Amino acid sequence: MIPVLTSVMLDTRRTLKDGSFPVRLRLTYQRQRKYYNTSYSLSETEFSKVQAEKPKGKYKELQIAFQAIEQKALSIIRNLDVFTFEQFEKKYLKTAVKNDVFTAFEQQVKNLAEEGRVGTASSYESASLSLLSYIHKQPLNRNKGLTRAKANEKKENLLKKRKPLAYAAITVDFLMGYEKWMLLHGNSITTIGIYLRAVRAIYNNAIAAGEVTVDLYPFGKRKYQIPSGRNVKKALTLADIEKIFSYQPASENEGRARDLWVFSYLCNGINVKDIARLKYKQLDKDTITFVRAKTERTSRQNLKAITAMRTPEIDEIIERWGNKPAYSEAYVFPLLEPELSAKKELAKVQHATKTINKYIKRVAAAVGIEKNVSTYTARHSFSTVLKRAGAPIELISESLGHSNLRTTESYLDSFEDDVKRQYTAQLTAFKNASLGKLS
């Protein structure tokens, strides 16, 4: 299939009255080009600042908005059975209901579900409900303890109260009030950050569609900045990891959970979804190669294959729990079945994760580990042990499949106390020698 090239560009062919030029979306297909208007116009100097590697202030906000325009176009193109400019224009230029944040959320949830991204769709739906609960001052976390039927009834009653929420209503003060209200009702900074990044993405889409002007944009420097939760360090020490390796399981469930946790730890911190999707054709004599499901859609232009080295322990786990016979197209572990819908796949992965976490916590308690051990701990432990062994951060980043080093740095735990003590001792190593000379 011939690719459709997209870019947001400054159309210098036509000068506007104020001396600026219109910013347009350009599509190129089979040597034919078409241009689509946006709500932006800039000077050449301003546009070059937007294109800088690290733009600041309003130029950073404009860069985000332009990226949203291009992402919207790419999303439409991916979902067309056959690309034509006419079909693209019908989707791109169509705006069913403008200036309503909740309708935009609803459409985004639908789009994500159609793309098979049911986990992300669920996150956006939760963000929308959270925003609605803030407006009506009905905290969702009060649903805890209710039966599922009662919780659903409460949710439906809340949805009946929904009225259009204009983009202009989402101001810095609105966002600050939402954050304060969420904290007051026991939500973590991490949860608030997830929900507000969804709101920001919805806002960026609206700007890209020309439904709202950039001067109303409430996010960014000297405006509202989304809080980032402080990374809770989850890595285990090598001594604790050795205890898990050496543990004699009390049941088959404990044994399977312990082994899959160890498999994750040894295979570059691979998560449960990627373990479940792993097929025998991805196993070579010495390596295991996979692409993280998390990045398949968000990094399509630069997919990173992760290579983990096979070890005797990995081979023993595959032999013990793997599907037999080992057909090329067969899943390595019996966690999924072929041709599952995205929704059913998500449910099975969530169930597997819950089961592993249940039993690995029992294993941890049995060997005297006081930390809250989970599948996530295996990933953090993999990266942190490499760091403590002196591995370059570039190697750790590549092994984890990260696109930048900052993401890797947030994964890395601090050094153990005995390592700190060893290096601190060097600070006063001169003392004994000096005292010896004085005496």
The DSSP-derived string for 402-427 is: -SSHHHHHHHPPPPPHHHHHHHHHHH
82 burial level (CB within 10 Å; 0-12, 13-18, 19+): exposed
Mean residue pLDDT across the chain: 84
- Say which residue, 157 or 2, is predicted with more confidence: 157
Q: How confident is the model at residue 147 (pLDDT cuts 50, 70, 90)?
A: confident
Domain-wise residue ranges, the chain: 1-94, 97-230, 238-420
Homologous superfamily of domain range 238-420:
Intergrase catalytic core (1.10.443.10)
Give the number of other CB atoms < 10 A from CB of residue 224.
21
Q: The dihedral of CA 12, 14, 20, 26: what is its sign? A: negative
- The predicted pLDDT at position 416 comes to 52
Q: Is the pLDDT of residue 135 over 70?
A: yes
pLDDT > 90: what percent of the chain? 39
Q: Is the pLDDT of residue 298 over 60?
A: no
Please state the rounded mean pLDDT for residues 94-103: 68
Which pTM value belongs to this model?
0.58
* CA–CA dist 75, 298 (Å, integer): 11
* CA–CA dist 80, 83 (Å, integer): 6
Please state the rounded mean pLDDT for residues 435-439: 44
pLDDT > 70: what percent of the chain? 85
Residue 376: φ, ψ to 5°: -65, -30
Region of poorest pLDDT, from 127-131, 151-155, 369-373: 151-155
Q: Which helix (H) or strand (E) holds 34?
A: strand 32-42
Region of poorest pLDDT, from 55-59, 146-150, 435-439: 435-439
Please state the rounded mean pLDDT for residues 144-171: 81
- The predicted pLDDT at position 431 comes to 46
Please state the rounded mean pLDDT for residues 304-320: 90
Asked if 336 and 276 count as a contact pair (C-beta separation under 8 A), the reply is yes
Region of poorest pLDDT, from 79-83, 260-264, 321-325: 79-83
